[in-house]
């Protein structure tokens, strides 16, 4: 039993993130183990801090050591595998131990410091404690007087069929007050039960066997040996849109469960792939747990506990679901693997791919990446035999890929059509409406008219805290900053710089909806964007209505582009994509190619052939033309050449060191100082491949009143480089710079 422990504490800065030794009181020794959550006295004044036990020692405590304040129960302890992931994240992503701990345990299962009943001793308290709810059963008969109310009668009738929870009763319209009243009368008896954890329970079960097409079967059989041999293996399922990748997943999962093992399925964003949960739930029922950020803390916790208790065979969720405490994993699937949402943008800055590889290695699992447009890095790895490549080249049902046309919007304007919807698209929508078919339109900008620009000085109205334009939202009649949430209400009419008249121009989803309503007054139009889907479940409900053909046209942001499978959709229009073509970052082309291919792929998935129109002011753009042809292989050839020439992943790793602070000059100085320190350290290892670019101002120079600078380092993502970076961070932290900027390090592997 441990007498002393090494603890990593919360809120440590990089340099101070190490293990601190504490003594364990005899009555705590039973409870403490590796991975225990603890509360410790720390620093001057011995203030209580959260911590995690990362080392245990049988040595008798020295008299100088402080004692632990409190230890969380064993159920809150990190499993050995999660504990190894904490070390993995710390080593890979330059986070602190505690940041890693917070990433692998959901908020609800975490602990916080509180004050004990004596009002003095700090103790641990669970973030969430409500996992039980009331359950009612009949305990007596309803007296005839006073005359029972309708609700009382209904409650008694329902409970005649057996015990029910408060949630179930409330769903039937029986309020807590009615139940309390009946308990007081002795008619009902109330007890506490564990809260129900079966989310999505209304999805009906479907058990008919999966019949794969010949091509799907071949893909399945190519992967099967690697599932069955229980050795770590990586594969890429590259299948055109509508080829039935999901069916191959389902079949693999089914086999995985037969083998007595478990499966983890990642999707990029729950709103982009609502149908995955549906398909898994309808086939595998209650043994499917869900982990995604649209769940509230309680739901998320309950699902997590179900996984921890061994009650789930399948976990489906977004990025952080990769940390599910699922044991004996035989299969990990990353669907739409090219999506940027698989990279975390706050500490720890991991990619789900690298964590998945680690877990597949530990569990001897098959890691399956899947996409119609794989990331350049993943396809490169597959081409070079580092991972297995499996293809699906045909759409299910044999439909050809949609026919795609590109419309030049400059010519459109020149020929006298001032609208944002070209004549060709208008005509196609009309024909589609007449044929009783559905249309999906993509416009990657929410709001009404995008920006406000001065007619005189041409200045664009920007957010006062960020260096980005404000966006007009018609329904709320105000300007919004999409970065910090700042508002201008009411919207100004005059330019703040010169007093000239502001002109509101551009085209967002709200404006599109309006224009469509004018052109097609008879059509039922659905707008899908962050604003229209803000309410809980709004997203699923709207999509379900669209699926029932209660709408003819769906216009929206990227949430209409991916993963959706509606048989009546035979026309897709891309209204505006040009801004993305000129976006920063080496993945910009890949993103556009993938987005256009995905959205075009929504068209003509069932019996009838599909058609698509892409509107652009740059009709000769090679990326758009390749996307229109849905020629991934040609796109890949072009992209990989560009990556090689510019030295980008997969030809090197990319480490971006970001600096932010309220005074621009100080941020610039901090970045320069960091660059100098890095240079000094690197000079000691001249054989280490390294190229440092910058410092330069960030792509967006200011966000929420913080100025941003960055340093781009092209490197090889290996232990030597990471050690070098860590040393530099340590040195930088010890520098006494005035008003020092905060630093974040984001390392993109060469492999993903
Ligand atoms: P992808 O994810 O590759 O774009 P999906 O898995 O969504 O494609 O499949 C496209 C459509 O074809 C879905 O409606 C799916 O149910 C259907 N489908 C694909 N393969 C089969 C099959 N073997 N049997 C029945 N339906 C299939
Ligand atoms: Zn702002």
Q: Cα–Cα distance between 4 and 7 in angstroms, integer?
A: 10
Candidates 102, 83, 103, 88; CA nearest to 6 is 83
Give CA–CA dist 313/330, Å, rounded. Answer: 10
Same domain, 260 and 336: yes
ipTM, two decimals: 0.96
Q: Dihedral through CA 63, CA 66, CA 67, CA 70, nearest 10?
A: 180
Q: Is residue 415 part of a domain?
A: yes
Tokens of 708: 């941003």
Residue 121 vs residue 328, higher pLDDT: 328
Query: Is the minimum distance from the CB of 371 to ligand 1 under 6 angstroms?
Result: no
Cβ contact 570:603 at 8 Å: yes
| Confidence band, pLDDT 50/70/90 cuts, at residue 735 | confident
Determine the pLDDT at residue 454: 83
Confidence of residue 535 (pLDDT cuts 50, 70, 90): confident
Q: What is the mean pLDDT of residues 391-412?
A: 89
Residues 255 and 359 in one domain: yes
Q: What is the DSSP-derived secondary structure letter of residue 530?
A: T
The three-class DSSP label of residue 214 is: helix
Burial of 128 (0-12, 13-18, 19+ CB in 10 A): middle
What's the CA-to-centroid distance between 482 and ligand 2, angstroms?
Answer: 7
> What are the strands, taking DSSP E only, across 455-538?
471-473, 478-480, 487-488, 502-505, 525-528
> Mean pLDDT, the chain, as a whole number?
88
b/e burial code for range 47-57 (CB count within 10 A of at least 16 → b)? ebbbbbbbebe
Q: Directed axis angle between helix 97-104 and helix 80-93, to 10°?
A: 130
- Among 142, 165, 194, residue at a domain's last position: 194
Q: Is 518 in the pocket of ligand 1 (CB under 6 A)?
A: no
Distance, in Å, from the CA atom of 719 to the CA atom of 709, rounded to the nearest integer, reads: 26
Contact of 227 with 259, CB cutoff 8 Å: yes
Output the pLDDT for position 272.
Answer: 65
Based on the fold, state whether residues 495 and 522 are members of the same structural domain.
no
What's the rounded mean pLDDT across residues 133-144? 85
Q: What is d(CA 440, CA 428) in angstroms, rounded to the nearest whole number?
A: 12
Confirm whether residue 655 is marked as ligand binding: no
Domain membership flag for residue 526: yes
Which CATH number characterizes residue 89's domain? 3.40.1440.60
pLDDT-based confidence at residue 1 (cuts at 50, 70, 90): confident
Single residue among 104, 126, 148 that ends a domain in this structure: 126
The mean pLDDT value for 703-710 works out to 89
CATH number, domain with residue 665: 3.30.70.600
Residue nearest atom 10 in ligand 1 by C-alpha distance: 242
Residue count of the chain, please give it.
752
Asked, for residue 199, whether it belongs to a domain, the answer is: no
Q: Is residue 322 part of a domain?
A: yes
**pLDDT of the residue at 379:** 97
Quote the pLDDT of residue 485: 82
The reply, when asked if residue 463 is annotated as ligand binding, is yes
Q: Whose CA is nearest to atom 16 of ligand 1?
A: 244
**Inside any domain, residue 205:** no
Asked whether 212 lines ligand 1 (CB < 6 A), one says: yes
- The ligand whose atoms approach the alpha carbon of 563 most closely is 1
416: left (phi over 0), alpha (psi -120 to 50) or beta: left
The reported pLDDT for the residue numbered 446 is: 60
Q: How far, in Å, CA of 572 to CA of 610, rounded?
A: 8
Asked if 571 and 439 sit in the same domain, the reply is yes
What is the Å distance from ligand 1's center to 413 Cα? Answer: 40
Same domain, 14 and 42: yes
484 within domain boundaries: yes
pLDDT score at 158: 86
Q: Is 567 in the pocket of ligand 1 (CB under 6 A)?
A: no
Out of 150-159, 192-201, 595-604, which region has the weakest mean confidence (pLDDT)? Answer: 192-201
Domain shared by 541 and 442, yes or no: yes
Q: What is the pLDDT of residue 449?
A: 55
Residue 429 banded pLDDT, cuts 50, 70, 90 = very high
Q: How confident is the model at residue 748 (pLDDT cuts 50, 70, 90)?
A: confident
Find the domain containing 465 and state its range.
Answer: 448-506
Mutate to test the pocket of ligand 1, among 246, 335, 374 (most ligand atoms within 8 A of CB): 246
Of all protein residues, whose CA lies closest to atom 2 belonging to ligand 1? 245
The answer to whether 330 touches 261, Cβ cutoff 8 Å, is: yes
Count the domains in the chain: 6
**Reported confidence tier of residue 130, pLDDT bands at 50, 70, 90:** low
Residue from 210, 213, 243, 247 whose mutation best tests the ligand 1 pocket (most atoms within 8 A of CB): 247
Asked if residue 239 has its Cβ within 6 Å of ligand 1, the reply is yes
Q: Output the CA 479–ligand 2 centroid distance in Å.
A: 11
632 vs 143, residue with greater confidence = 632
524 within domain boundaries: yes
**Between residues 267 and 605, which one has the greater pLDDT?**
267
Position 530 in a domain = yes
CATH number, domain containing residue 587: 3.40.50.300
Q: How far is the CA of 274 from the centre of ligand 1 (A)?
A: 15
Average pLDDT of 151-163? 86
CB of 245 within 6 A of ligand 1: the answer is yes
- In degrees, to the nearest 5, what angle opens at C-alpha 633 toward C-alphas 628 and 635? 55
Nearest ligand to the CA atom of 370: 1
pLDDT tens, position by position, 277-326: 888 988 998 889 999 877 888 888 888 888 988 999 999 999 999 999 99
Residue 333 has pLDDT above 60, yes or no: yes
- Look at residue 194 in the predicted model and tell me its pLDDT: 63
- Tell me, yes or no, whether 261 and 386 share the same domain: yes
Statement to judge: residues 593 and 630 lie in one domain: yes
Burial of 522 (0-12, 13-18, 19+ CB in 10 A): exposed
Find out whether the beta carbon of 220 lies less than 6 Å from any atom of ligand 1. no
Same domain as 367, residue 218: yes
715 annotated to bind ligand: no
Residue 751 has what pLDDT?
A: 55
Same-domain pairing of 454 and 442: no
Ligand showing the shortest atom-to-Cα distance for residue 282: 1
Least confident of 65-69, 131-135, 606-610, 722-726: 131-135
pLDDT-derived band at 530 (thresholds 50, 70, 90) equals confident
Tell me how far apart the 2 most distant CA atoms of the chain are, in Å.
93
State the closest ligand 1 atom to the C-alpha of 241, by its place in the atom list counted from 1: 4
List CB contacts of 61: < 8 A, sequence separation 6 or more: 3, 4, 23, 24
User: What's the pLDDT band for 42 if we cut at 50, 70, 90?
Assistant: very high
Considering the domain architecture, whether residues 286 and 373 belong to the same structural domain is answered as yes
* Ligand 1 lined by 562 (C-beta under 6 Å): no
How far apart (Å, rounded) are the C-alpha atoms in residues 136 and 134? 7
Cα 703 to middle of ligand 2, angstroms? 6
The reply to whether 473 and 492 lie within a common domain is yes
Single pTM value for the model: 0.86
Domain final position from 643, 676, 708: 643
Supply the CATH number for residue 179's domain.
Answer: 1.10.10
Ligand nearest to the CA of 569: 1
Ligand 1 in contact with 244 (CB < 6 A)?
yes
């Amino acid at each position: 039993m441990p007498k002393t422990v090494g603890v990593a504490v919360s809120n440590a800065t990089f340099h101070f993130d190490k293990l601190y030794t504490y003594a364990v009181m005899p009555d705590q020794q039973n409870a403490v183990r590796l991975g225990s959550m603890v509360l410790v006295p720390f620093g001057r004044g011995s203030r209580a801090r959260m911590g995690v036990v990362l080392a245990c020692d049988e040595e008798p405590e020295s008299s100088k050591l402080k004692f632990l304040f409190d230890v969380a129960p064993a159920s809150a302890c990190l499993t050995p595998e999660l504990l190894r992931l904490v070390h993995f994240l710390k080593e890979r992503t330059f986070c602190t131990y505690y940041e890693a701990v917070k990433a692998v345990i959901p908020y609800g299962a975490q602990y916080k410091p509180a004050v004990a009943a004596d009002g003095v001793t700090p103790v641990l308290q669970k973030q969430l404690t409500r996992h039980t709810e009331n359950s009612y059963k009949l305990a007596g008969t309803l007296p005839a007087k006073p005359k029972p109310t309708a609700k009382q009668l209904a409650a008694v009738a329902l409970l005649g069929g057996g015990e029910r929870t408060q949630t179930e009763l409330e769903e039937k319209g029986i309020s807590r007050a009615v139940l309390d009243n009946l308990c007081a009368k002795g008619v009902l008896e109330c007890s506490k039960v564990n809260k129900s954890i079966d989310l999505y329970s209304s999805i009906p079960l479907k058990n008919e066997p999966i019949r794969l097409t010949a091509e799907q079967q071949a893909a399945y059989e190519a992967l099967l040996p690697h599932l069955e041999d229980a050795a770590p293996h990586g594969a890429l399922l590259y299948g055109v849109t509508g080829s039935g990748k999901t069916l191959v997943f389902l079949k693999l999962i089914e086999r995985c469960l037969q083998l007595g093992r478990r499966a983890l399925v990642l999707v990029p964003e729950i709103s982009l792939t609502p149908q995955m949960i549906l398909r898994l739930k309808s086939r595998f029922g209650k043994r499917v747990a869900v982990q995604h950020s649209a769940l509230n803390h309680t739901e998320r916790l309950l699902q997590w506990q179900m996984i921890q208790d061994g009650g789930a065979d399948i976990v489906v969720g977004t990025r952080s679901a990769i940390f599910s405490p699922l044991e004996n994993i035989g299969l990990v699937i990353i669907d739409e693997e090219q999506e940027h949402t698989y990279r975390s943008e706050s500490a720890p800055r991991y990619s789900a791919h690298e964590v998945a590889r680690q877990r597949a290695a530990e569990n001897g699992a098959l890691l399956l990446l899947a996409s119609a447009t794989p990331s350049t890095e993943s396809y490169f790895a597959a081409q070079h035999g580092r991972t297995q490549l499996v293809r699906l080249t045909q759409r299910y049902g044999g439909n050809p890929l949609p026919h795609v046309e590109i419309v030049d919007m400059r010519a459109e304007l020149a020929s006298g059509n001032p609208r944002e919807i070209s004549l060709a698209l208008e005509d196609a929508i009309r024909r589609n409406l007449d044929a009783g078919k559905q249309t999906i339109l993509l416009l990657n900008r929410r709001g009404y008219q995008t920006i406000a620009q001065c007619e005189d000085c041409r200045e664009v109205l920007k957010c006062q805290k960020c260096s980005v334009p404000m966006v007009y939202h018609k329904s709320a009649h105000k300007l919004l900053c999409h970065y910090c949430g700042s508002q201008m209400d009411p919207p100004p009419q005059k330019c703040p710089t010169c007093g000239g008249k502001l002109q509101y121009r551009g085209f967002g989803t709200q404006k599109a909806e309006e224009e469509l309503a004018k052109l097609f007054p008879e059509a039922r139009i659905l707008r899908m964007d962050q604003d229209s889907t803000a309410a809980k479940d709004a997203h699923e409900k709207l999509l379900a209505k669209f699926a029932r053909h209660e709408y003819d046209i769906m216009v929206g942001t990227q949430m209409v582009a991916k993963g959706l499978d509606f048989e009546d959709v035979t026309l897709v229009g891309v209204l505006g994509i040009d801004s993305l073509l000129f976006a920063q970052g080496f993945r910009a082309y890949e993103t556009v190619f993938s987005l256009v291919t995905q959205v075009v792929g929504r068209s003509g998935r069932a019996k009838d052939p599909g058609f698509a129109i892409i509107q652009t002011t740059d009709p000769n753009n090679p990326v758009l033309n390749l996307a229109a042809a849905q020629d991934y292989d040609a796109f890949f050839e072009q992209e990989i050449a560009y990556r090689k020439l510019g030295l980008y992943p997969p030809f090197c790793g990319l480490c971006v060191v970001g600096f932010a602070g309220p005074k621009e000059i100080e941020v610039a100085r901090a970045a320069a100082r960091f660059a100098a320190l890095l240079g000094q350290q690197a000079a000691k290892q001249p054989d280490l491949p390294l190229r440092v670019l910058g410092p330069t101002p960030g792509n967006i120079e200011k966000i929420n009143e913080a100025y941003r600078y960055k340093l781009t380092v092209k490197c090889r993502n290996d232990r030597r480089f990471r050690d070098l970076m860590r040393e530099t961070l340590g040195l930088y932290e010890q520098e006494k710079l005035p008003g020092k900027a905060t630093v974040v390090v984001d390392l993109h592997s060469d492999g993903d």
